[in-house]
Amino acid sequence: MTVQSAPGLPSLGGRVSLWPTKVPVRVAFIVVTVGAAYHYSLSTLLRDWRYQTPLADLALVPLLGVGLLIVASRRHRLVGASRLGRLDLVVAGVCMVVVVAVMVVGPILLANYYWAIRPDLLSLPLLALAAIAILFGTRAIVAFVFPLAFLLLAWPLPHTMLLEQVLDGITNLTSAAVAAVVRALPVAEVVPGGEDLRLLVPHNGGEFLVSVASACSGTESLVGFGVVALATQYLIQGPLQRRLGWLAIGALAVWLGNLIRILAILCTGRWFGSEMALEVLHPVAGIIMLNLVFAGLLLMMRRLGLSWRLARTDEAAADTPLAQPAPPEQRPTGGKVTARLLILTIGAGSLALVNGQLANAATGFSNSDRPASTTFMGHPTVGPLWKATKLRELDWSRPYFGKNSHWIRYRLRPTRKASAYGQVTMWADAIVTHDLGALVAHPVRTCYELHRFVVLADQRVTMAGGIVGRQLVYQIPSGGRWHVLMWEWPVRSRIGEIVHERMVLLASTNAQMISPIQQPRGGTRVSESVLAALNSLAPNRDPNPSLSRIMLAAADQIITARLAGQALRPPAAANMR
């Protein structure tokens, strides 16, 4: 079947394959298969958009990535005639193995910190790279470097770390600017005291309170601008310093636009009331202002010596020498591309099943991707079957976990509702520190080995909601044996800071219960299979399995009680209130 070349595309000569070889078809398959494989991970970005978190605009990254992929395929049109070889399958296979490891083994090894790190989104460009290698060939990857690198922006961890450093500064700057303006304009009155800037807005003899919190500082708009502006860099051309200057001007304009937005809301409230200001104008003012800023930036491009970069076929060949067209007899055929489409579809379908199970890893986090539970010492909730009594705080631990750390010991005894537990007594140690590295540096098992205790069992277990912990049994030199169940996870302090907590349940191996408890586990089939493989390499000489089940049941109830109603709460102060 002979087909004419598309307008603007140099003739490839000879016989052109059927529809699977068409560049738009292959690009569409890449978008659909990668999107399906990461359906749950990508849905969490859309969820963040819904709850208007500071990183909500990261949801734009996959959408803009698709656009950049299409632009790259049109700019470098000769990639459709690249040679397909065995190396492509090797490269794609290595990438997929890494992606599978991130989704399957990662939640076990990183345990309850998987969702804080989000390696699933970090691995997203790897699957896209694998798909490009399969359908376009390894050489063609060079033409898609920018879209692949752009997908790395979907990884929230670097953004979160950056916001922790600059959020307070931007918030204070915005609050100071708003306060200075309202002192000159009679639209509101500053209320002294409080962590956030609070303003009393008068209207028709009454007044209402407006708080300018961190969510109103403009950081969300700056993140959104940064994402879109970086994508735009692929579409414009000009000296690097001028393009960077264009970005700097845009960032300043976004911050000033946010300041104007806040003042517009205050003026609207002053003249038309709180409903018009907060219910009508507030939800759309940010979007309107951001679009106006972008429009202004586009209008000033020529004055800065910048212009749109057009796709030209002669330029495309020079840009990517590795993606030069193959000889006609070595170009992709319809049958070869169809077979690779089938391989990619099967691989993406398998990854989609695994990605869906990552919901278990997100159990300990709220819809704003912050820890759902508060510290145990702040609210020692243990459920209806146990009663917690505070015994004492162990101050000697501070040299190990930091001067602001706390180690509090509790005694747990079953209530009357837990008749099956008999007279089992457990102790619960709650260690809270700001330094995660301190917990990593001083693991529980290392402490026992340092004291020359004999570790009889060391097994990873899953508890309620997929929380991953470790169950140990150790024997002290005098002959006594103790069962231990521990887990570590990020939690919120009383003032909302993210801290790290280690929970350790202890019970004497000689403890007896009236009847054994069989508690269903909270993990998925995949995670349980990985746990079983890892546990097979560790000691498992448990002298009292019934006690281990009792402790797992107690941990399930403690975790369930601490997470009850927390994970579904939207973030407080999502916007100006």
DSSP state of 495: T
| pLDDT tens string 392-418 | 998 888 888 988 899 999 999 888 777
Within-domain flag for 59: yes
The answer to whether 372 and 566 are in contact (CB under 8 A) is: yes
Can you give the residue range of the structural domain that contains 189?
160-307
Q: Which residues of the chain have pLDDT under 50?
A: 1-17, 313-319, 514-516, 566-577
According to DSSP, the β-strands at 468-475 and 454-462 are antiparallel
Residue 101 shares a structural domain with residue 212:
no
Which of residues 307, 334, 352 is at a domain's end?
307
pLDDT at position 573: 33
Q: CA 99 from chain center: how many Å?
A: 16
Phi/psi at 75 (nearest 5 deg)?
A: -70, -40
pLDDT at position 280: 84
3-state secondary structure of 486: strand
DSSP state of 4: P
Distance CA(146)–CA(67), nearest Å, equals 12
Residue 300 shares a structural domain with residue 342:
no
Residue 321 shares a structural domain with residue 279:
no
Number of domains in the chain: 3
* Short-list 257, 269, 278, CA closest to 188: 269
pLDDT at position 101: 93
Q: Is the dihedral of CA 560, 561, 563, 565 positive or negative?
A: positive
Q: Token digits for 200?
A: 């009393």
Residue 390 shares a structural domain with residue 521:
yes
Distance CA(286)–CA(182), nearest Å, equals 20
Write down the pTM of the prediction. Answer: 0.81
Residue 23 shares a structural domain with residue 146:
yes
Helix/strand/coil (H/E/C) assignment for every residue in 319-335: HCHHHCCCCHHHCCCHH
The answer to whether 485 and 504 are in contact (CB under 8 A) is: yes
Q: Is the dihedral of CA 570, 222, 296, 151 positive or negative?
A: negative
Q: At what angle do helices 240-272 and 282-299 cross, to 10 degrees?
A: 150
Within-domain flag for 380: no
| pLDDT tens string 270-314 | 888 888 888 888 778 888 888 888 889 888 888 888 988 865 544
According to DSSP, the β-strands at 236-237 and 468-475 are unpaired
Partners of 308 in the beta sheet?
236
Residue 70 shares a structural domain with residue 144:
yes
Residue 341 shares a structural domain with residue 398:
no
- 410: part of which helix (H) or strand (E)? strand 406-414
Distance CA(527)–CA(31), nearest Å, equals 28
Within-domain flag for 370: no
3-state secondary structure of 455: strand
3-state secondary structure of 388: strand
Within-domain flag for 576: no
Partners of 410 in the beta sheet?
390, 428
Q: CA 546 from chain center: how many Å?
A: 38
Q: Enumerate residues 6+ apart whose C-beta is below 8 A from 407.
A: 393, 394, 395, 397, 401, 429, 430, 431, 432
Partners of 190 in the beta sheet?
199
Within-domain flag for 9: no
According to DSSP, the β-strands at 426-433 and 197-203 are unpaired
Within-domain flag for 272: yes
Residue 52 shares a structural domain with residue 142:
yes
Residue 147 shares a structural domain with residue 33:
yes
Residue 337 shares a structural domain with residue 394:
no
Q: Enumerate residues 6+ apart whose C-beta is below 8 A from 515.
A: 420
Within-domain flag for 187: yes
Residue 303 shares a structural domain with residue 316:
no
Within-domain flag for 3: no
Residue 130 shares a structural domain with residue 27:
yes
Tally DSSP H helices, then E strands, for the chain: 21, 12
